[in-house]
Chain A
């Protein structure tokens, strides 16, 4: 029975006291009375109605319980629907709020992302800046080191300048400088420099000394050379003398005026030729032999360190080796001995390995020999070629 009272909009239930107006509209008794307190007309059609004109009506329901239930249920459902609507509204509101918050969150996240990006960017910038700063610090350190070096070098330069001035300056000036510079470091450096200078000077001195030594050595060798030459000269002179004596002898033999002291090579040559001609008749005067021996003795007694060299030298070797034989040969000089003593002979002629020639063979005085026996010219020539290849 879904009939309701228009005033309170509640459904009528059989238990309600329902009243009808004369015009036929039905209301709850309470509702109608309450309205009629204000206005004496029908709420629905405005017809006049009084408390006397209204009357109660009764419903005849078959199923009392179910009708009650349905009315109550409808009411409950209505209430619940209303509540559901309210909940829906609040839900919608909450949803809206959530959406807004989500949007907010998204914007915030975006912001955070952008901030992160900027942070990373700045971090990069910072790292590059740090790198640059490090580089600059290194450079500055290098500069500092260089500056320090520069200062040091300047100080050194000053010091060196003062040292230089000291080297060139007089004693008085040096004293002045020493009075100025009393720093121990400077002094040690000065000392070191001076010592270096001293060392340099010392080394230069040594060098010079060495040079002097070499020069002296040279001089000595030169002197030796001179001595040797002098010896040679004396030897030659003695020879010359010998030859002159021979010549004298020959001249006296041939009644020719003696030639005295002929130093010219031409004269020597001539005399030699003459000597060779008179080879076989050679007999040296005892006086000359004595003089010769004396000279040899002189040579032997000489303190010269080149005596030994002399001893092995070509000219004197045979004489020194065998003085007795030499004496004999001087007294009776053979052509062989003469050849041995001659400086015109090649050195190897004086050697011991020289082949002994037969008594038939004679030196011809010009480096060859000749046989007296003219029997075999071919053999003679053969022998010559054999001896002097």
Chain B
């Protein structure tokens, strides 16, 4: 059969499709083409500053998943948030240092959604300009300094 990473991804996909989470939609066609590249659409939660807005997240998995964390970034329209850079990179600990194999796509989406929901004003991170100029394409290679541990 397929490798363990793929098997787990399939199970996650099946789980998300059979029991969909509110405000999180998976681009099934894209996933069917390539199980290692997911496009997930998340809606801004009700009664938050992102209500009515939708954003797209791109998940990229490698063969070491779930021991390796997936690469997650916003594509298309980037939400204005103090932890999200204008190039789509997300400053979120569970995507790097705090990743555990017990986490899943659904858990990550949920975390990001709650992160968006907890914001009170739309603003870019303070080092947005410098970071976007200097950072690597892969957010996982960034050595993050997590300013806010509340999330």
Contact = CB atoms under 8 A, between A and B. Distances in A.
B105 to A, nearest CB: 12
Contact of A31 (B11, B29, B32, B101): B101
Contacts of B67: 7, 34-35, 38
Contacts of A107: none
Interface stretch (B12-20, B82-90, B116-124): B12-20
A10 B14 contact: no
Most buried by A among B11, B14, B28, B100: B100
Interface string B27-63: 0110010000000000000000000000000000000
A82 interface: yes
A110 interface: no
A89 interface: yes
B29 A78 contact: no
A9 interface: yes
B102 interface: yes
Interface residues of A, number: 23
B79 interface: no
Nearest to B15: A9
Contacts of A348: none
B10 interface: yes
B66 interface: yes
Contacts of A6: 101-102
Contacts of B13: 82
A86 B11 contact: no
A9 B8 contact: yes
A270 B97 CA distance: 198
Contact of B32 (A39, A41, A44, A86): A86
A41 B100 CA distance: 9
A185 interface: no
B27 to A, nearest CB: 11
A7 B102 contact: yes
B4 interface: yes
A85 B12 CA distance: 13
Contacts of B100: 35, 39, 41, 43-44, 46
Contact of A82 (B14, B98, B102): B14
Contacts of A357: none
A89 B29 contact: yes
A351 interface: no
Contact of A85 (B7, B8, B11, B17): B17
Contacts of A9: 7-8, 11-12
Contact of A78 (B4, B11, B101, B102): B11
B35 to A, nearest CB: 10
A43 B101 contact: yes
A41 B8 CA distance: 21
A89 B102 contact: no
A93 B29 CA distance: 9
Contacts of B8: 7-9
Contacts of B18: 81
A26 to B, nearest CB: 12
B14 to A, nearest CB: 5
A82 B6 CA distance: 12
Contact of B28 (A41, A81, A85): A85
A278 to B, nearest CB: 176
Closest 7 CB pairs of A and B: A7-B101, A43-B100, A43-B102, A6-B102, A9-B11, A44-B102, A43-B101
Given A7-B101, A8-B8, 19 more contacts: A6-B101, A6-B102, A7-B8, A7-B67, A9-B7, A9-B8, A9-B12, A31-B101, A35-B67, A35-B101, A39-B100, A43-B101, A44-B100, A44-B102, A46-B98, A46-B100, A81-B18, A85-B32, A89-B28
8 contacts: A6-B102, A8-B66, A39-B100, A44-B100, A78-B10, A79-B10, A89-B32, A93-B29
